[in-house]
Amino acid sequence: MRQAQDNFSREIDLLCRLSHPYVLRMFGICADNPTRFMTRAQGGDLRDYIDARGVQSEEERIRIITELAFGLDYLHAKDIAHRDFKSRNVLLTMDKTCKICDFGLSKETGNDTTAGSSLGTPAWSAPEILRGECREVR
């Protein structure tokens, strides 16, 4: 239970410091009544969107990939390794703008380029991470 609380606190602290068009914006939390205040993302997650509708055009695929690349570039420039990046951790606004979310397993790397233990969803992890061959986060 303590680990879950620590992950939650770390995620809230991290999200409140981030501000980018393709990263979910957290404005704060009410401690008396556990409520989070964040950017509204009513479009569901990217996985459900693709499963229900598919990606209709090359233009839409390019838009999605570009938004995610810009969001990840921002996180990496801030020395943040998400460590569980997948379609379920991308929310969509009503206009289908991608917002990277779920920073519970993320790590601020600072000058340390090692990510530590392998975390995240195995099906979405790089083979070299699963084999324990690569520990660098850049």
Q: Which among 6, 32, 84, 95 is annotated as catalytic?
A: 84
Burial profile 11-42: b = 16 or more Cβ within 10 angstroms, e = fewer = bbebbeebebebbbbbeebeeeeeeeebbebe
Selection from 42, 46, 52 nearest residue 93 by Cα: 42
Beta strands in the chain (DSSP E): 26-30, 35-38, 80-81, 90-92, 98-100, 107-108
Is residue 79 part of the annotated active site? The answer reads no
Instruction: Give the residue numbers marked as catalytic.
Output: 84
